[in-house]
Structure 1
């Protein structure tokens, strides 16, 4: 008669142990799942940013062939000077459009990254797209307002000086300018920022 309570106690203890083990297993699985999700997201994001750095360099490469920039539809009233300027500016736009799939993936990744890592971790995304916007704006500005003009179009020396300063500024954004390039260091800074966020996760243990 005394054995039954003892056996019941063992059974109850076994149930408790089994429950604890099951809960521990579920929590371990959840931690594993969350870690893998963050790891995969960080790896994919970092890969896309590395690709973006290469693509931006390709977009801004200062040499072009005779066919680049010619795929746009010219307006009927364009002068030869305007057409030449717009075609020249369109080189960068063409190159961007040929590579925009990667940038679209990064844009979509921004929201998934925010959901997993927090709103304060998407600054590199915003800075990258600010750089892209500046490059495309420079193309539009140079094509529509700068390259079709000549120095002889300005009678005021101060206006000419300001015009040439603007031209040099936007051309330095449009084309890669070597060691004094204003865009490349900013791209490098973006890469460093996203590395600081992603690498601790990539190199961490489960």
Structure 2
């Protein structure tokens, strides 16, 4: 009888240990799942905000707060207005950007340091748009007037970055590629049943 009781105690102990291990694994998976879901939701919101920021249509109200300089030419004024609109639209939805930046560190902690690059890629896209606004202002202010062909080509490329369009939109294409890469990583967890 003692042998049977010993076997029952051993089996009960093994089941308890197995239950604890299983619970810990499930909790770890749950944290990964929730983070993956939060990251995907954040990048979809980020994509929508970048589209809004780059929308080619604007209203006079969007630039009514911009302080104008006395010596602004009409060209510089238009360029400054466009830069102001893009940055104002960005600032209205900055929370999504900030959230994505903060999620980067959690993503690195859970998935590995090398995965932080994927979130950094989204931040880089916004920086490209801001750099394009700066270059647009410089070109409008007369930079490269001595080389009109170069200036015309640069302005054409800059407009592709600043404004969303249906054809040849490098920002939309880059965003799509970055989202697809992040989806592949996150879907490995989300699509997995525990």
Instruction: Check whether TM > 0.5.
Output: yes
Q: What runs of 5+ residues in structure 2 fail to find an aligned partner?
A: none
Deviations 1:3-39 (A, max 9, x none): xxx42x3333333222211111110100110111111
Q: Which range is displaced more, 90-99 or 61-70?
A: 61-70
Instruction: Report the equivalent of 2:4.
Output: 10
- Is the CA contact (8 Å cut-off) linking 1:70 and 1:87 kept in structure 2? no
| Structure 1: runs of 5 or more not aligned | 1-5
1:55 is aligned to 2:49: yes
- Contact 1:135 / 1:173 at 8 angstroms: preserved in 2? yes
Aligned with residue 39 of structure 2, among 28, 45, 65: 45
Distance 1:99 1:23 in 2: 48
Alpha-carbon contact 1:69-1:89 (below 8 Å) kept: no
SS across alignment from 1:205: coil
How many residue pairs were aligned?
Answer: 193
* Partner residue of 1:187 out of 175, 180, 185: 175
What TM-score, normalized to structure 1?
0.85
Coordinate RMSD, CA, aligned = 2.0
Equivalent in 170, 182, 185 of residue 158 of structure 2: 170
1:48 positional shift: 0.8
TM-score (norm: length of structure 2):
0.90
**Bigger radius of gyration, 1 or 2?**
1
Distance 1:63 1:148 in 2: 22
CA contact (8 A) 2:49 2:93 kept: yes
Query: How far is the alpha carbon of 1:142 from its aligned partner?
Result: 1.4
Deviations 1:66-123 (A, max 9, x none): 1113333445x54243344312221111111111100110000010011101122233
